[in-house]
Chains A and B, each alone.
Chain A
Amino acid sequence: MRHFFVMTLFAALASVVFGSVAKETPNERVIYGVKVFAEFMVIGLVLSWILYFIP
Chain B
Amino acid sequence: MVKAEKIELERREPTPGSAWLIGAVAWFVPGAGHVMLKKWWRAALMGGAVWLCFFLGLAMGGHMFDLSTGQGSSTILQVPPMIANLGSGILYVVSWLLSIGFADDPERARLATYEYGNTFLLIAGLLNYLTMLDAFDIAAGRKP
Chain A residues at the B interface, C-beta cutoff of 8 Å: 2, 6, 9-10, 13-14, 16-18, 20-21, 24
Contact = CB atoms under 8 A, between A and B. Distances in A.
B26 to A, nearest CB: 12
B46 A17 contact: yes
A16 B49 contact: yes
A20 B50 CA distance: 13
A18 B119 CA distance: 17
A24 B119 CA distance: 30
Interface residues of B, dominant DSSP: helix
A20 B119 contact: no
Given A2-B112, A6-B113, A24-B144, A17 B127 contact: yes
A17 B127 CA distance: 7
Interface in B79-118: 112-113, 116
A17 B47 CA distance: 9
Contact residues on B (Cβ < 8 Å of other chain), bracket = 20 to 34
A14 B52 CA distance: 11
Contacts of B123: 10, 13-14
Contacts of B144: 24
Contacts of B120: 10
B112 A17 contact: no
Nearest to B56: A9
Contact of A20 (B45, B53, B56, B113): B45
Contacts of B42: 20
A24 B143 CA distance: 9
Cβ-closest 4 pairs across A and B: A17-B127, A16-B49, A13-B49, A13-B53
10 contacts: A6-B60, A10-B123, A13-B49, A13-B123, A13-B127, A14-B123, A16-B49, A17-B49, A17-B127, A21-B130
